[in-house]
Every structure is written in structure tokens, then in C-alpha cells.
Chain A
Amino acid sequence: MSKETCQSIFFKGVRDAAPFLLVVGPFSVLFGVVATEAGLTIIETVSFSLAVIAGAAQFAALQLMVEDAPTVIALISALAVNLRMAMYSAALTPHLGAAPLWHRALAAYFIVDQSYGLSSLRFEQYPDWSLSQRLAYFWGTVAPICPFWALFTYVGAVIGEELPPWLALDFALPICFLAIIMPMLRTRAHVAAAIVSVFAALIFSFLPYNLGLLVAGLLGMITGAEVERRSDLTQESR
């Protein structure tokens, strides 16, 4: 077991996650602005961020509501975008699954791109961390992100007025996601999964309800797993 205290590991999580506030902040401000402009009240807008805590899904749902799509379609699409949360949950389970139920139920609410991404990276890096050290790290990554997601949504909703279009804040999300992805590409299997996902997302974009994203995700996962299995086999035969 690592000798680091839970407190120092918690702050390691805070330090790792804090830079993401630079991208989460503007993004949630943007959601606040866009949502109020679409006709939501401040309370509705902030409730949205508190209930869902997932930018892409919130924007997807909002977009479809603005287009007057059936409520069912808006829900299915946004949940499809959010299906990755189930995958994050599954990926964290081997690391945090031994925690008490109440703790898991609470942590589940705070599974977001950043807490999952950073936690799974560090848990692989420090396999000797105990359960409480892992939980400390997880909550460390949550602390500088999730409260501000709601807070900055509120700021955006209050601003309410149009941000100058030259800011092109629409592109904050793609740039952030791209920047998050690149350090993840540690092995050939990761690169293969990402490349397949990119092309599958384009090829299957004709599918309705964001199903193209699910197809891309599944194909990417299968590719990554298969490349890993084959390179393991090659290593064993040497």
C-alpha cells in the first residue's frame, strides 16, 4: 500500500482536475446563456445542470427542445450521448466497487468525463493505492469541477445576454475533447480504437438519435480490445 495520506491524494486529485475548470467554466457559462436564450428560466437552467451534469447531453437535449422535437426523441438522444456514463461506471467498478453502497450511490452522481478520465488514469498508474486512497483521489477530482458546473451555469443564465459571436464558444467543447483525448492514446490499441471511432462516427452519422455515436463507440471498443488481445498473443509467442 502506498504511504501517501488520503489528504495528500485528495489534493493530488484537486490539482489534476483544477486545470479542467478553464474549459468546464466557459462551457457551463455557455450552456447557461444558450438555455436562457432558448426560453428556459434561471431555475430551470440551473436545475438542468444539477440534474444531468453532462455538457454534451444537456446541449443535445436543449437543441432538440428548441427544434420542437418530440420529448421522447430529445430524451433518447441525450441519454444516448450519456450512455458513456454507464461505461465509465463499469470502468470504475473494479477500483471503487468495494466501497459501501451509500458511498457508491453518492460517487455515481459525480461520475463525469473529468473524474472518470483522471481517476482511471491514476488508478492504473498507482495500482497499490488502497480503496480509501482511491476514493480520496476521486473526490479530489470532483471538488474543483462539479460545484462549478452548476455555479457557472447560473452565471451564464444571469448574463443571459448574447455573447459576441466572434468568441466562437461553440468550439470550446471540440477543442477540450480533442485535448483530453490525445494524452489517452498511450498504446497502439488506444490509437486504433480512436481512429475507428472517428471514421465510424462520420460514416454512421446518418443514423438518427445519435445512434451513430453508439455504433462508433462500440466499434472503437471492439477494435481496441482486439488489438490488445492480438499484441498480448504476439508477446506470449516470443
Chain B
Amino acid sequence: METTTIWTVIILLGLGSYAMRFLFIGIVGDRPLPPWLLRHLRYTAVAILPGLVTPLVVWPEATGGQPDPARLGAALVTVLVGWITKNVLAAIFCGAATLYFLLYLTT
């Protein structure tokens, strides 16, 4: 990897990420936003994060993109515990425990 490439990516990605973070809060400010826009924005996190995580669960890179019982099982337990308890740490703990248990069984 070339040093120039690395720094180009770091600097431009940093600037680009900042621009996106600043776009609304910095430029739009406190001008009232239309209700339809706010109604859509309420669902940004629940719309983006599941889409981000699903391919990582179904086609994990660690197994070369092959579905993996241990990772699928861990994801399922995390979702179930999170759904029932609404407790983030409990869900993470149970998910990680399931992952290690299943990895231990399957390898």
C-alpha cells in the first residue's frame, strides 16, 4: 500500500465524514424542518443499522462470506435477548457467550 494512497483516503474520508456530520446541524441550523422530513428522519437509525448488520451476519467475512452456524446462532440470541430485556449489555453478553460456545462446539 502506498503512503500517498493511505493519506489521501484518511484525509478525504475524514473531510467527507465531517461534511456529512456538519451538513444539517451546521448549515440548516434551527430553521424548522417540514413534518414529512422529520417523520422520515425518526426512522434513520432503525432503517440503516439493520441493513448494515444483516450482510455481516449472513455472509461473515471471517468465513469467506459463507453462512456460519455459530455467528447466525449468536446473532439470533442477541436479537432475542435484546427484544425481551431491552438491555444492550445483556444482549451483547449473551450473544458473545453463544458465539464462543458454538465456535467451541463446531471447531
Q: CB within 8 Å of A: which residues of B?
A: 1, 3, 5-18, 20-26, 28-33, 36-62, 70-71, 74-75, 78-79, 82-83, 86-89, 91-92, 95-96, 99-100, 103, 107
User: Is the Cβ of B25 less than 8 Å from the Cβ of A89?
Assistant: yes
Partner of B71, one of A81, A171, A220, A224: A171
Partner of B8, one of A71, A178, A201: A71
User: Is the Cβ of A97 less than 8 Å from the Cβ of B9?
Assistant: no
Q: Mark A143-157, 1 if CB is under 8 A from B, else 0.
A: 000000000000000
In the complex, whether A193 has a CB less than 8 A from a CB of chain B is yes
In the complex, whether A208 has a CB less than 8 A from a CB of chain B is no
A window 27-81: CB within 8 A of B: 38-40, 44, 47-48, 50-54, 56-58, 61, 63, 65-66, 71, 74-75, 78-79, 81
Partner of A101, one of B16, B26, B41: B26
In the complex, whether A158 has a CB less than 8 A from a CB of chain B is no
Given contacts A23-B92, A181-B82, contact A197 B20 (CB under 8 A): no
Query: CA–CA, A51 to B29, complex, Å?
Result: 23
Query: CA–CA, A91 to B60, complex, Å?
Result: 31
Given contacts A38-B1, A171-B74, contact A104 B26 (CB under 8 A): yes
Partner of A179, one of B10, B23, B88: B88
User: Is the Cβ of B62 less than 8 Å from the Cβ of A170?
Assistant: yes
User: Is the Cβ of B51 less than 8 Å from the Cβ of A213?
Assistant: yes
The A contact surface, by secondary structure, is helix
Query: CA–CA, A135 to B81, complex, Å?
Result: 32
In the complex, whether A117 has a CB less than 8 A from a CB of chain B is yes
Q: CB within 8 Å of B: which residues of A?
A: 19-20, 22-23, 38-40, 44, 47-48, 50-54, 56-58, 61, 63, 65-66, 71, 74-75, 78-79, 81-94, 96-98, 101, 104-105, 107-109, 111, 113, 116-117, 120, 166, 168, 170-185, 189-190, 193-198, 200-202, 205, 212-213, 216-225, 228-229
Given contacts A75-B16, A179-B78, contact A90 B41 (CB under 8 A): yes
Query: CA–CA, A39 to B2, complex, Å?
Result: 9
Besides the known contacts A75-B12, A84-B49, A97-B25, 9 further A-B residue pairs in the complex with CB atoms under 8 A apart: A75-B16, A88-B44, A108-B18, A175-B78, A179-B89, A184-B46, A194-B50, A196-B47, A197-B54
User: Is the Cβ of B86 less than 8 Å from the Cβ of A197?
Assistant: no
User: Is the Cβ of A90 less than 8 Å from the Cβ of B62?
Assistant: no
Residues of B within 8 A of A20 (CB): 88
Query: CA–CA, A189 to B75, complex, Å?
Result: 22
Given contacts A182-B82, A220-B48, A224-B40, contact A52 B74 (CB under 8 A): no
Query: CA–CA, A120 to B47, complex, Å?
Result: 15
User: Is the Cβ of A56 less than 8 Å from the Cβ of B45?
Assistant: no
User: Is the Cβ of B13 less than 8 Å from the Cβ of A91?
Assistant: no
User: Is the Cβ of B46 less than 8 Å from the Cβ of A66?
Assistant: no
Residues of A within 8 A of B43 (CB): 189-190, 193, 220-221, 223-225, 228
Residues of B within 8 A of A53 (CB): 17
Query: CA–CA, A87 to B46, complex, Å?
Result: 12
Residues of A within 8 A of B88 (CB): 19-20, 179-180, 182-183
